[in-house]
Chain A
Amino acid sequence: DTGVSQDPRHKITKRGQNVTFRCDPISEHNRLYWYRQTLGQGPEFLTYFQNEAQLEKSRLLSDRFSAERPKGSFSTLEIQRTEQGDSAMYLCASSQGTSGIFESEQYFGPGTRLTVT
Chain B
Amino acid sequence: AQSVTQPDIHITVSEGASLELRCNYSYGATPYLFWYVQSPGQGLQLLLKYFSGDTLVQGIKGFEAEFKRSQSSFNLRKPSVHWSDAAEYFCAVGSGGGNKLTFGTGTQLKVEL
B43 near A111 (CB under 8 angstroms)? yes
Alpha-carbon distance between A106 and B103 when the two chains are bound, in angstroms: 13
CB of B34 closer than 8 Å to a CB of A: yes
Contact with A along B62-105 (1 / 0, CB 8 A): 00000000000000000000000000001010101111111111
CB of A40 closer than 8 Å to a CB of B: yes
Contact partners of B94 in chain A: CB under 8 A: 102
Alpha-carbon distance between A107 and B105 when the two chains are bound, in angstroms: 19
Alpha-carbon distance between A106 and B96 when the two chains are bound, in angstroms: 13
B49 near A100 (CB under 8 angstroms)? no
B97 near A108 (CB under 8 angstroms)? no
CB of A105 closer than 8 Å to a CB of B: yes
Alpha-carbon distance between A9 and B2 when the two chains are bound, in angstroms: 30
Instruction: Give the size category of A's interface with B.
Output: 20 to 34
A102 near B51 (CB under 8 angstroms)? yes
Alpha-carbon distance between A108 and B45 when the two chains are bound, in angstroms: 7
Chain A stretch 22-65: residues in CB contact (< 8 A) with chain B: 31, 33, 35, 40-45, 48, 55-56, 58
In the assembled complex, how far is the CB of residue A98 from the closest CB belonging to chain B, in whole angstroms?
Answer: 11
In the assembled complex, how far is the CB of residue A62 from the closest CB belonging to chain B, in whole angstroms?
Answer: 18
CB of B46 closer than 8 Å to a CB of A: yes
CB of B53 closer than 8 Å to a CB of A: no
A40 near B105 (CB under 8 angstroms)? yes
Alpha-carbon distance between A107 and B106 when the two chains are bound, in angstroms: 18
Contact partners of A100 in chain B: CB under 8 A: 96-97, 99
CB of A97 closer than 8 Å to a CB of B: yes
**Of B41, B44, B98, the contact of A108 (CB 8 Å cutoff):** B44
**Of B4, B41, B46, the contact of A105 (CB 8 Å cutoff):** B46
Tell me the B residues contacting A by CB distance below 8 Å: 4, 32, 34, 36, 41-46, 49, 51, 90, 92, 94, 96-106
- What 20 new A-B contacts, CB under 8 Å, besides A45-B100, A100-B96? A3-B43, A33-B99, A33-B100, A35-B101, A42-B90, A42-B106, A43-B44, A43-B90, A43-B103, A44-B103, A55-B98, A56-B99, A91-B44, A102-B49, A105-B49, A106-B46, A108-B36, A108-B43, A108-B44, A109-B43
